[in-house]
Structure 1
Amino acid sequence: MPNHFHLLVRIKPFSEFEVKAKGFPSKTDISKLSVGEIVSELFRRFFMSYAKSINIQEGRSGSLFQKFFRRKLVDNDIYFSRMVYYIHHQLRHHGFDKLDYRTYEWSSYRRILEDRKSSLKKMELLEWFGGKIEFIKFHAQGLDEQVIEHLTIED
């Protein structure tokens, strides 16, 4: 989207050793951190690194992002399906009515349907919906925004 992005990320189960290997200081007692705190720290580091790279590339300084990273736990099957729908339909939700989720360059929707190899877990997602045709049908059905309104994080 022109002004922000949404990610749906599955967090793999990981051990204390794996987390420490990702750069957490040894003085941090990982066992006292929640999964949410660990995920937030990893994303914070990713966004800082990305901003530094863009600043170097563009010869600029300062913050690249206007707002802080926010997250919400997707804890059930219905919520998961609706969030996939919301992420692909967010263009309309955020007032970009002239953009179509099926053809928008930066949407994962089209990429999920392509047969090209990808690091996205496309097959898992398509199987979740019952295949490509069902995935397309689910997105075409048009969910009432009130159905997912309470599930999203908005300003």
Structure 2
Amino acid sequence: MSNKESFELGYVYHVYTHGNGKDLIFRENENYRYFLDKLLKYIAPIAEIYAYCLMPNHFHLLLRFKNLKSIPDNDEHKYLMKQFSNFLNGYAKAYNKKYSRKGALFLDYLKRKRVDDEKYLKKLFHYIHNNPVSHGFVEVIDVWKYSSYLSYINFHKESKIERKEMMQYFDTIKDFVEYHKSNVEYDFLTKE
């Protein structure tokens, strides 16, 4: 699978990118909140968001594009990429203005991998939520505030995250927590 593969409606994707060079894309709590607001504004109308993790210099999203009735110009990929472009450019402009910086905030391309396999999907779900632990920002997963993990363990609270799809892989919240605290081999990383 290529990072340049086209987006298609109805499919699940792992979408991620890094800050340009060694730039941070999140410096403070307000940045994370603003990014999530933009995510809901631009991406939630076109995709069900299953998981996310925001890290100081990169982010991960796990989502399924909705089967939208009509796409302008009949070009799914172009339309979906335009939504991501509006999302990331809007965030970058506000970030640059706030911190008096110029230039690209993100790498010049959005990495994306289509997820066609349930085993891969479940491992990826674990990987995204455990990113802050893997990178040494926290020792335990439930301390990181900037991922969808807390939305899942607080399942009774309303959320914009589409949790039902991924919870079908777990009998209970306790099973979900135990899975996320277990060691999972990320064999897919060598392919990315």
With the shorter chain as reference, the TM-score category is: 0.7 to 0.9
TM-score by length of 1: 0.74
Q: Give the Cα–Cα distance (whole angstroms) in 1 for the partners of residues 78 and 60 of structure 2.
A: 19
Question: Corresponding residue for 1:120?
Answer: 161
Distance change in 2, residues 1:91/1:48 (3 Å): same
Question: Corresponding residue for 2:19?
Answer: none
Which of the residues 138, 145, 150 maps onto 1:110?
Answer: 150
TM-score by length of 2: 0.61
Question: Corresponding residue for 2:60?
Answer: 6
- What RMSD in Å do the two structures reach over aligned CA positions? 2.3
Q: How many pairs does the alignment contain?
A: 137
Q: Name which structure has the greater RCO, CA cutoff 8 Å, separation 6+.
A: 2
More strand by proportion, 1 or 2?
2
Q: Give the Cα–Cα distance (whole angstroms) in 1 for the partners of residues 78 and 117 of structure 2.
A: 21
Which of the residues 96, 100, 103 maps onto 2:140?
Answer: 100
Question: Corresponding residue for 1:148?
Answer: 188
Q: Deviations over 1:82-119 (max 9, x none)?
A: 110110122344x3264432211212212221132111
Q: What runs of 5+ residues in structure 2 fail to find an aligned partner?
A: 1-54
CA contact (8 A) 1:101 1:107 kept: no
Which of the residues 170, 173, 176 maps onto 1:129?
Answer: 170
Question: Corresponding residue for 1:24?
Answer: none
Q: Partner letter of residue 164 of structure 2? A: M
Q: Give the Cα–Cα distance (whole angstroms) in 1 for the partners of residues 182 and 122 of structure 2.
A: 13
Question: Corresponding residue for 2:99?
Answer: 58
Deviation at 1:130, TM superposition (A): 2.7
Q: Partner letter of residue 141 of structure 2? A: Y
Q: What runs of 5+ residues in structure 1 fail to find an aligned partner?
A: 21-28
Q: Give the Cα–Cα distance (whole angstroms) in 1 for the partners of residues 56 and 138 of structure 2.
A: 12
Distance change in 2, residues 1:87/1:54 (3 Å): same
Question: Corresponding residue for 1:90?
Answer: 131
Give the number of the structure whose alpha-carbon radius of gyration is greater. Answer: 1
Question: Corresponding residue for 1:72?
Answer: 113
Query: SS at the partner of 1:63?
Result: coil
Distance change in 2, residues 1:90/1:100 (3 Å): same
Q: Partner letter of residue 149 of structure 1? A: L
Q: Give the Cα–Cα distance (whole angstroms) in 2 for the partners of residues 61 and 99 of structure 1.
A: 34
Query: SS at the partner of 2:68?
Result: coil
